[in-house]
Every structure is written in C-alpha cells, then in structure tokens.
C-alpha cells in the first residue's frame, strides 16, 4: 500500500519477530502514530495485567508523513498501558527516530513479552534484530547512547536510563544525545521508560537510508512548497527561531499561570534570569527534528554535558520548586534526562514533598534530610534517589497520587494530578477551558492534547460558557491528529500554518483524497477508543474527570487574578456540556450510538455486550 510500510511484531520472551504489511483498516481508520497504538492496545487489552507486566504491549508507531519530504518534523508515539495511571498512556517524541524507522521500511513496532537478559532492538533494511545489551544494562541513558553510536554510526537511538531499569513509574525514554544536528528529545509522559525496563529492553535503534514511497510525489512537493512559504512568511517565525518554547516562561508569568511552589502561586519574581531571553544569551546551539524548518532545540551546557531546554521542563523544575537560577534549573533538567525521568512528573513529585515540609506533614525523619523550597542541592539529591529508588525516593518513584496516599495528613488535596498523571505547567484556576482540558485528557492531565489557556485569555477567565467545551473538543481532535500523522504541531500552533495542508499532504502520500474533516473524524474515533480503554481498564467515569481540591478551594493569592479559583458547580455544568457535545452519557461513557456512528462496532460490543 503506497505511503505505508510494515509493522514488526516482536516477542521478547521467545525472541521472535514477525513483519507484516499494514492493512487498510488500520491505515485509513486510525492513520498511524497514536491512532495505531490505541487500536493495537485495545485488541490486546484482555491479556494485559498491568503496566510493567510482560503481558503489556508497547507500541512504537510512526505516522505516514514521517520520513517523507514533508517539512513538518518527525514524531514517534510510544504507547502502552501506563505503569503510572493504569490506563492508556502515550508519549510523543521528536528527533530522527520516526524518520529513520520509516526509511528502514518499518512503520511500527509492537513489543510484547520480556527478555531474560537485557537486549536492544535494531531496525534496519525492513528487519528487526534482537541484540544483547548485557554491557549496556546499568548505564545511564547518555552513556548507553554513546556506546551504541560508536558501534552503529549514523542511526537514531532511543534509550532508557537507570530509572527505566528500576521501573520508576514516570521513567522516560531519551532519543539521540548530544548531536548538534539532531534534537535531543524525550518520550517523557506516562512512564513508557518503565515499560521498556520491564521488558529488559535498554534501547531501540533505527538505521534507515531508504526512501519512503509515496503515491503522488509531485503533489506532495507542491504542498511542501506552500508549507515552506507559510512557515518562512510567518511574522512569528523570527521569534520562534530565537526562543522556541522558552519564551512561554515570560508569557505564562505575565498571564499569571506559571506554576510556582506546587501551584500555590501563579507568578515568580525574576523570570528574566532563566526565561527565553536568558537562555538565548547562553545557548550553545539549536538543533531540530528530522525535516524541520523551524528548529527549537535550544541547548545549553551543563558540566561536561548538554541539555536541550523547553518551557515545561523549566517551569516544573524551576518556579514550581522555588528555583530561579538558570544553571541550577538546567542541571536539574539534565539530571532527569541522564537518569531517564519525566521532568514534569519529577518536578511535581518534588514540589509535593517540599509543600509537605512547608506544612509540617513531612520532616527530616521521613525523608532523611531537610527539604526546602529553592534548594538546588536537595533537588539534585532527590532526583538521584527517585531514579535509584533509594530511601524516600522509592516512594516518590510511585508518582504523586500514590505518594500522597502514603503520606496522608490531608496532602491529597494538593497532590497535583489527574487520573494519576502529574499536571503539566499551567495553573488553571483562572482558566476554565484549560481546567476542562486537564480534567478530560485521555491519558491524565497533559497540555499537549488541548492547550486551551489562550482561549481562556481571549474570551474571559471567569467564563464557563459552552463554547469552551466546544473549543476543548476541537483541540482534543486537532492536536492529536499531528501525532497520528507523525509530524510536529508547532508550525500550526506557533506560526498559524493552515491545517488543511496536512490533509493535502496525507492525500498525496497515500493516493486517496482526505479532507481535514475526514482526518478529524479519525482523531475523534481514537479519542473515543482511548476513553473506552480507560473505562474497561479502570472504570473511569465522571468522578475521575476532575482536578485536585486545591483548584476549587485555594484562591490565587495575589496578582490581577487574585481570588480566582475554580467554581465547582459551574465546572460541573461545563463538564456536562462537554459530555453532551461529545455524545457521551452523564457517567462520561461514549454511548453505543456514538461508538457505532464512529465505526467502532467491536468497541461498542466490548463495552455494552
Ligand atoms: Fe522538533 Fe521543534 Fe521542529 Fe517541532 S519545531 S519538529 S519539536 S525541532
């Protein structure tokens, strides 16, 4: 089938690999990336016991635009039942991995079972080999990457660190360290590094030099020309090139949405010391993902290494911990990458412990030393303890939901998570659409599915109108569509590129005509599918589509939004509107009719019998 390659099913227990063609249903109903991941996980659901059990299915899926001449970056989805949340989890990573996999002829890997000995996968020339990683096990992510690159040369490498090996529930996966021409990136969210660790899978490498065959190369080239014109012609291009996501630090602080000291405050004094402008002054180089025309991998040096910085990492490991020094935040960021930890979850778990100290719920006897806001050395120490699962770090490695249950003392009310996933870096007490985005996000609170806070700023921060539910639903379909196509959403988000171009490019690649609405319907199908997986796996319903008590009870203490907190009644009304607009019942379940309308007959059958 033009535009698509093959899928490799890898059984690590029996050391078997089967490579099959992509079938039409998978291709055109689910497109690729997270769409494929959701469907494959659904098909395996009955066998999956839990996130770090060998019965779990880890899907590594590219999208149909990956590896083509389309200038929209390259994205790869890592997905499985999450060790952190127990429901469908995924994390999308940039870099060159997806492009290399596609150019090696493999669109996706479905990895099951657990190897007796440490191993890694090599994807090359339409094949997948299982290789021994005995001498890599126990290495930090960066060092494993360096060692593999010495052997294999020009390739893309995804590695886990110590945290993944030790099954830290929010362990991440790093892709490509320290290459000036390639963005160092992480699949950070939902603990996909722990899934690899439980499989004894240290790394996945792709070596691809072939060409992805597309149905209509001339049409694709013409679409790429228009995309190029829109990117270069954007008045926002220059600012993006200079700062990337780091200018959001200044924006978020001004908008009073910058999480500070575990979301107690929304502003931080001195952001100019570590925001976009400060990073721009000291950065060593900027790197990009494959096929990207607007590279955003701003990289600074830390000791003998480098770290590529982004807004979320800096917000969660900086102001959220009371830290305001660029070097210190960069070092914390670097250590998370080095050990293989998600920066957002790590920042949230450490902030939670700091607040417990502030309130006298925890003390030195519990943790072994004092923990204070803004103490960089303590932050480094805690990161290491979490990754190595030593002392109190062993409890922190469970994530903030389980940690707060252990700590007790009323701390659950400021454990900042939704469905077990730590909330990313936007305070949402004065942003009902953003709050709804977090509460209803299919993997737990994560901004990348629906970054609706700009809409709150546009139409009113105390506005709970139904249009906000509509907006969130639209974003929950459009943003994940980029992850299904295997490209970056930033050209659309940041430079306002026309999203219809993506449908045209997809049509050119596969040789069939699809409009943007057709693709959004596929994305809606996937959203409903991941919701059903959450219901079947954990009985998720309206009770779970909520936010920490802090958001409803603790008003913002200062600034122009002083006094704002979420209004429980109005929020519930907004949630009911959201369900109604989605065609879900009052429990938050997709109705049978809705599932049938989306062509999800087998899913309806499974849910309703
Ligand atoms: Fe990668 Fe940034 Fe380019 Fe997106 S804009 S493809 S994240 S380098």
Tell me, what's the pLDDT at 73?
87
Tell me, what's the pLDDT at 82?
98
Residues near 531 by Cβ (< 8 Å), separated by ≥ 6?
442, 540, 584, 588, 589, 590
Task: Label each residue of 563-578 as H, E or C.
Answer: CCCCCHHHHHHHHHHH
Contact indicator for 490, 294 with CB cutoff of 8 Å: yes
Contact indicator for 340, 388 with CB cutoff of 8 Å: no
Environment class of residue 135 by beta-carbon count within 10 Å: exposed (0-12), middle (13-18) or buried (19+)?
Answer: exposed
By most ligand atoms within 8 Å of CB, the mutation choice from 288, 482, 494 for ligand 1 is 288
Tell me, what's the pLDDT at 337?
97
Tell me, what's the pLDDT at 180?
87
Q: d(Cα 563, Cα 566) in Å, to the nearest integer?
A: 10
Query: Across all residues in the chain, what is the average pLDDT?
Result: 97
Contact indicator for 20, 7 with CB cutoff of 8 Å: yes
Q: What residues in the chain have per-residue pLDDT under 70? A: none
By most ligand atoms within 8 Å of CB, the mutation choice from 183, 184, 290, 482 for ligand 1 is 183
Name the token pair of 40: 């494959």
Tell me, what's the pLDDT at 222?
98
Residue bearing the CA closest to ligand 1, atom 2: 296
Tell me, what's the pLDDT at 504?
98
Between the alpha carbon of residue 206 and those of residues 67, 68, 254, 316, the distances in Å are 12, 16, 42, 31
By most ligand atoms within 8 Å of CB, the mutation choice from 63, 292, 313, 491 for ligand 1 is 292
Q: d(Cα 310, Cα 316) in Å, to the nearest integer?
A: 10
Contact indicator for 387, 341 with CB cutoff of 8 Å: yes
The 10 Å Cβ neighbour count of residue 148 is 22
The minimum-distance atom of ligand 1 relative to the CA of 290 is 6
**Torsion angle of alpha carbons 577, 579, 581, 582, nearest 10°?**
160
Smallest CA-to-CA distance from 534 within 524, 545, 521, 523 is with: 545
Environment class of residue 560 by beta-carbon count within 10 Å: exposed (0-12), middle (13-18) or buried (19+)?
Answer: middle
Q: Give residue 95 CA to ligand 1 midpoint distance, Å.
A: 8
Burial 584-599 (b: 16+ CB within 10 A, else e): beeebbbbbebbebbe
Residue 183 Cβ < 6 Å to ligand 1 = yes
Indicate the DSSP class of residue 306. E
Name the token pair of 138: 């126990």
Residue 288 Cβ < 6 Å to ligand 1 = yes
pTM for the model stands at 0.98
Place of tokens 């402008």: 277
Smallest CA-to-CA distance from 583 within 535, 528, 534 is with: 528
Q: d(Cα 189, Cα 173) in Å, to the nearest integer?
A: 9
Torsional class of 604: left (φ above 0), alpha (ψ -120 to 50), beta (otherwise): alpha
Residue 184 Cβ < 6 Å to ligand 1 = no
Residue 259 Cβ < 6 Å to ligand 1 = no
Between the alpha carbon of residue 170 and those of residues 166, 233, 342, 345, the distances in Å are 11, 40, 6, 7
Q: What is the CA radius of gyration of the chain?
A: 22
By most ligand atoms within 8 Å of CB, the mutation choice from 72, 236, 295 for ligand 1 is 295
Name the token pair of 92: 């999308």
What tens digit of pLDDT does each residue of 160-189 get?
999 999 999 999 999 999 888 899 999 999
Between the alpha carbon of residue 458 and those of residues 463, 567, 572, the distances in Å are 10, 19, 22
Q: Give residue 185 CA to ligand 1 midpoint distance, Å.
A: 10
Residue 98 Cβ < 6 Å to ligand 1 = no
Q: Give residue 73 CA to ligand 1 midpoint distance, Å.
A: 6
Alpha-helical runs (H) found in 234-321: 237-243, 248-254, 276-282, 311-317
Q: Give residue 442 CA to ligand 1 midpoint distance, Å.
A: 24
The minimum-distance atom of ligand 1 relative to the CA of 292 is 3
Residue bearing the CA closest to ligand 1, atom 1: 289
Distance of CA 268 to the CA centre of its chain: 25
Tell me, what's the pLDDT at 181?
86
Tell me, what's the pLDDT at 486?
98
Cα torsion angle, 285, 286, 288, 293, sign: negative
Between the alpha carbon of residue 149 and those of residues 39, 76, 100, 139, the distances in Å are 33, 20, 14, 14
Q: d(Cα 207, Cα 209) in Å, to the nearest integer?
A: 7
């Amino acid at each position: 089938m033009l535009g698509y390659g093959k899928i490799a099913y890898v059984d690590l227990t029996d050391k078997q690999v089967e490579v099959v063609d992509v079938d039409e249903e998978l291709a055109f109903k689910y497109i690729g990336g997270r769409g494929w991941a959701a469907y494959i996980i659904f098909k395996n659901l009955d066998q999956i016991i839990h996130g770090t059990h060998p019965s779990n299915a880890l899907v590594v899926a590219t999208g149909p635009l990956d590896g083509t001449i389309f200038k929209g970056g390259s994205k790869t989805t890592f997905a499985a039942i999450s060790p952190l949340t127990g429901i469908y989890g995924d994390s999308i990573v940039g870099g060159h991995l997806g492009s290399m996999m596609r150019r090696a002829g493999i669109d996706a890997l479905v990895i099951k079972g657990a190897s007796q000995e440490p191993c890694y996968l090599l994807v090359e020339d339409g094949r997948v080999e299982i290789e021994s990683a005995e001498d890599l096990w126990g290495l930090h992510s960066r060092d494993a990457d360096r060692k593999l690159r010495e052997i294999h040369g020009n390739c893309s490498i995804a590695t886990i660190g110590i945290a993944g090996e030790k099954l830290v529930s929010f362990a991440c996966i790093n892709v490509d360290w320290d290459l000036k021409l390639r963005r160092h990136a992480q699949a950070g969210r939902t603990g996909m590094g722990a899934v690899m660790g439980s499989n004894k899978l240290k790394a996945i490498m792709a070596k691809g030099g072939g060409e992805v065959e597309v149905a209509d190369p001339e049409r694709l080239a013409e679409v790429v020309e228009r995309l190029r014109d829109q990117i270069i012609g954007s008045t926002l291009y220059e600012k993006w090139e200079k700062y990337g996501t780091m200018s959001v630090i200044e924006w978020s602080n001004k908008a009073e949405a910058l999480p500070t000291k575990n979301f107690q405050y929304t502003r931080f004094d001195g952001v100019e010391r570590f925001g976009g402008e400060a990073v721009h002054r000291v950065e060593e180089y900027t790197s990009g993902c494959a096929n990207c025309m607007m590279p955003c991998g701003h990289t600074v040096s830390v000791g003998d290494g480098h770290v590529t910085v982004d807004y979320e990492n800096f917000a969660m490991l900086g102001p959220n911990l009371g830290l305001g020094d660029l070097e210190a935040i960069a070092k914390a960021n670097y250590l998370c990458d080095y050990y293989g930890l998600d920066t957002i979850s790590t920042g949230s778990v450490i902030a939670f412990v700091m607040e417990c100290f502030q309130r006298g719920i925890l003390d030195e006897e519990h943790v072994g030393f004092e923990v204070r806001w803004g103490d960089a050395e303590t932050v480094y120490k805690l990161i290491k303890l979490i990754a190595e699962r030593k002392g109190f770090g062993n409890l922190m490695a469970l994530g903030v939901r389980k940690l707060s249950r252990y700590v007790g003392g009323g701390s659950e009310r400021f454990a900042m998570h939704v469905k077990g996933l730590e909330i990313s870096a936007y305070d949402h007490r004065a942003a009902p659409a953003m709050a709804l985005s977090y509460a209803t996000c299919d993997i737990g609170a994560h901004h990348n599915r629906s970054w609706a806070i700009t809409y709150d700023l546009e139409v009113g921060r105390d506005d709970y109108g139904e249009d906000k539910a509509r907006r969130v639903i639209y974003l929950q379909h459009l943003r994940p569509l980029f992850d299904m196509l295997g490209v970056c959403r930033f050209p659309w988000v940041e430079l306002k590129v026309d999203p219809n171009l993506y449908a045209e490019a997809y049509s050119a690649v596969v040789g069939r005509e699809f409009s943007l609405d057709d693709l959004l319907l596929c994305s809606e199908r996937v959203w409903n599918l991941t919701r059903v997986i959450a219901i079947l796996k954990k009985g998720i319903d309206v009770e779970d589509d909520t936010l920490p008590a802090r958001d409803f009870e603790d008003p913002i203490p200062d600034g122009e939004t002083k006094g704002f907190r979420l209004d429980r009644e109005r929020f519930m009304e907004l949630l009911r509107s959201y369900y109604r607009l989605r065609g879900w019942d009052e429990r938050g379940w997709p109705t049978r009719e809705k599932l049938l309308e989306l062509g999800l007959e087998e899913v309806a059958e499974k849910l309703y019998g």
